[in-house]
Structure 1
Amino acid sequence: MSQVAVNKLDLFHLAWPILIEQLTGGVVVMADIYFLSLLGEEAAATAGLLMPYLLIGFFVLPMLSSGGTAAASQYYGAGKLDKVQPVFITNIVLLGVAGFAFSAFTLANFDNIALWLNFPEAMQVYAEQYLAIIGFCFGFHGLRCAYGSILAAKAMTQWNMLVSLLTNVLNIFLNATLFFGWFGLPRMGLPGIALSTVLSFVFAWLMVMAIVRFKAGVRLEFSRAMLPQMRAVLRPLLKISVPSAAEPANYTLQQIVVAGILASLGVLAVSSYTFVLRLLFVSMAVSASLAAAGQIIMSHHMGARNLDTVDATYMRCIRLAMSFAFINMLLFAWFYQPLIGIFSQDPQVQFYAKWLLIICIVMEPFRAINIVAGMALKAVGDGRFSASVGIVFIWGVVPVIYLCSISWQLGVIGAWACFALDEVLRGIINHWRWKTYKWHSMGIS
C-alpha cells in the first residue's frame, strides 16, 4: 500500500467519516418515519415493524461487504498487492448477486410479507405499498456497499462519507417533494417515500463507482482471465464475509420473529419500541464507526503480523465505544420526554419509552462490546466463533421474550429486558474470546 494510505491508518481519521455516514443514515430513517407519522400512528408503526425485514438488506449487505474490506486490507498489510484487485471484483460480484436476489424475493412476495409477520389488518395495506417499491433498492445498495469497501480498504473513508451525505440530502429532498407534491408533482404519500429511497440508492451506487474509478484510481478488469485469481481469493474472502453476514442476518431474522410477537401488544407498545430503536442509532453508530475503523487498522496490521498493535487498537475501540454508549444513554433517559415527544405525545408511549431507555443504560455499553469485538474477531480470522455465539444467543432468547412479554404479561418492557440480557452475556463471551489470543495464529495472508 502507498505510504500516503499507511499514514491514514489512524483511528479517528478513519472513524469520524464513518460516524458521519452512520449518523446521516440514521437521520434519514428518522425522517422517513416522521413523514410516515403524518399519515398516522399506524403508518409509522408499520415502518417500525418492517424495519427488521428491511435490515436484511440495509444492514446485512454492508456487513457482508466488510469481508472485502478486511481481506483486501490484510493483503495490503502483507504486501500481496496482486491479490487485492481479485478481492475487489469478487466482492462486487458477491454483493451484486446477494442484493439483487433479495430484491427479487421482496418484489415477488411484497403482498405476503406482512401476513407472514402477523401484521394487524390495518397495517397490511401500508406494508404492501411500501414493499412493492422499496424492494427495487437492495441490488443497487449491494453494489454501492461493494464499491464502498474498496474505498474503505484504501483508507478513503471520507469519500464514503461524502456519498452518504449527498445521498441522504437527496433522499430527504425527494421525500418532501413527492410526499407534499412540490413543483407541481402529484402527492404520492407513502409510495413517494419508498420511491425516494430507491432513487437515492441508485444515485449512491453511481457516485461511489465513479469515485473508485477516477479518485481512487482503481481500474477493475472484469474479464475471463481474472477468474483463476478470483477463485484463489474466494475462500479467504468468504472466511471473513460469511461470519460477518451470518450474525446480522440471524439478528434481523430474529427481529422479524420478535416483531410478530410484539405486534399483538398493540399499536402504542409497538410505537414506543419503534421510536426508542430510532434513538439508539446514535450510540450504535459510534460503536459501529469505531469498530469499522478499527477493523481496517487491525486488518492491515494483522497482515503485517503486528499483533501488539492489533490488540492495542481493539482495546482503544472498546473503551471509547463503551464510554460513549453509557453517557449517551444516561442523557437520553434523563431527557426522554422531549426526545420521544418528537414522534408522539401519547402518555402511554412516553411511559413505555422511559423504561426502555433506562434499561438501555445497561444494555448499550455491552452492545458496544459486541459490535467492536465481533468485527475485530472477524477481521483477524476468528469470525466463526463470534458468529456461532451470536446465533445461539439470538435464537435462544426468542422463547424467553415470548414468556416475558406474552405469557408473564410484562409486555414490551419485559421483551426489552431480554434483549439487554442477551447483549450483556454475548459481550462478556466475545471479549473473553479476544483475550484468549487464539487469533494470533489466524489471518488469511
Structure 2
Amino acid sequence: MMAVKRVLNALYSPKWLIATNTTTGALFLGAGDLIEQQLIERRLLLRAQHFDANRTLGMTFTGIYFGFCGHFWYKFLDKRFPSSARKHLLKKLSCEAAIGPPFGASVFFIVGQWEGKPVRQSLRELRANLALLCLSLFLRTRCPLAAAKRSVIGTSHASQRDDEVFTSKLSGIDAGVVVLSLNRPNGANSLSRGMARLLNESLYQLSKDEELRVLIIRSTVPGIFCAGADLKERATMPEKDIPPFVAKLRAIANAIHDFPFPTIAAIDGAAIGGGLEYALAADLRVTASNAKMGLVETKLAVIPGAGGTQRLSRLIPLHLAKELIFTGRLIDGHTAYQIGIANYSVEQNANGDAAYRRAVKLAEEMIQNGPVALKAAKVAINRGSEVDLQSGLAIEAAQHTLTVGTKDRIEGLMSFKEKRSPKYRGE
C-alpha cells in the first residue's frame, strides 16, 4: 500500500499532474472514437441512429478518470492553500492543462460537498465553473486521437438533417482521402430538396479543403447508391418549381465534374436516374458486380436532366448510350465495366462495401502523387476533351507550366535522385 501511495503522490504532484491529465485524457477520449469506428465498420452502428458512441464512451471514461483527478486536486490544494486562494489557483491550472482539469475542477466542488460544504455554496461554485466545463467539451471535439480515425467517423461538413449527407477524412496511409457519404435509408438516398441542399453545401465546403487530395462518393445504405429523384416529393411539387429544382440537381452534377481534385464514385448498390448521373459526373467509377444502374427517365416520359445524355454519350460509344437511354434498361456492374462506364467491377462482399474498399485502394495510388499535378492534370483532361486538338494542347501547356515552378516538382526530382519516397505538400 505504501508503494501504491508513493506512486499516486508522484503521479499527482505538480510536476506530473498536467502531463498525466492531458495524455491519459487524450487516450480515453480517443478510445471512445475508435470504438465507434469499429462499430460502424462492422455495420453495428449507423450515424443516422443519433447514437454518438464515441462521445458517450469517451465522456464516460473521461468523467471517471477526472473524477479521481478532482479528488486528488482537492486533497493536494486543501493541504497547501487557504480556501480563498485554492479556487483561483484551481481555475488557473485547469486552463493551462486544457483537456483534463476542467472536469476535475467541476468534480472538485462536488467533492467539496462530500467534505461537508453547504449545498448552496457548492452549487454556486460549480455554476461559476461551468465555463471551464464547456471549454473542456469544446476541446474534447478537437482531441488529437479523436481526429485520428481512419474511416467513416470524420469531421462532418453537413448539417444535422438526420445526417443524410456527411463527410469523413481518412487518415494514416489514406490521409488526404475524403469520403462523401449518402445516408438517407428511408428514402433510398433519393434526391429530395433537403438532400440536394446538403450535397451542394458539402461539395462547396470540400472544394475549399486544403488537405483533400481525392474525394470518394459512396452510400451507407445497403444495396443503394442513389435512387435518383424523390418521386413522392416530385409528385407534389408545382410544375413551375420543377425546372429550377432540376437546375439545382444539374448544378450538383457539375460541381462533382468540376471538383478540383479527382473524384471516385463507389457504387455498391442501385444507381438509378439522377444517382447514375452523379456517378457519371465523377472522374472514375468502381462498381460492385451485382449493382444495378441505368438512366430510366424515358420510362417516366422525361429525359435525364442532370447531364446523363451528355456524359454517358461521351463515356461510351454513342450507339450504346442511345440504346441505354432509349430503352431505360438497367444493367449490372459487370456489364457497366465491360462497356466502359466503370473503371473496375468487383464481387460484392458480406459487408456490402466491396466497391468502396476498392475505391479506397485506387485513391491510395493517387495520393502518392503531387497535389498540384493532380489538379492540373484534371483541368487539362476535362477542358481539353471539350475542344479541338490544338486548343487542347494549349490548355495542357498552360497547366504544365503551372507545375514547373512548384516546390513539389523539386521534391520529386530530389526524391528520385536520393531513392526515397517524395513528400509532397501541394506547394
The answer to whether the superposition gives a TM-score over 0.5 is no
| TM-score, structure 2 normalization | 0.25
Would you tell me which structure has more helix in proportion to its own residues?
1
Task: With a CA cutoff of 8 Å and minimum separation of 6, indicate the structure with the bigger relative contact order.
Answer: 1
Would you tell me which structure has more strand in proportion to its own residues?
2
| TM-score, structure 1 normalization | 0.24
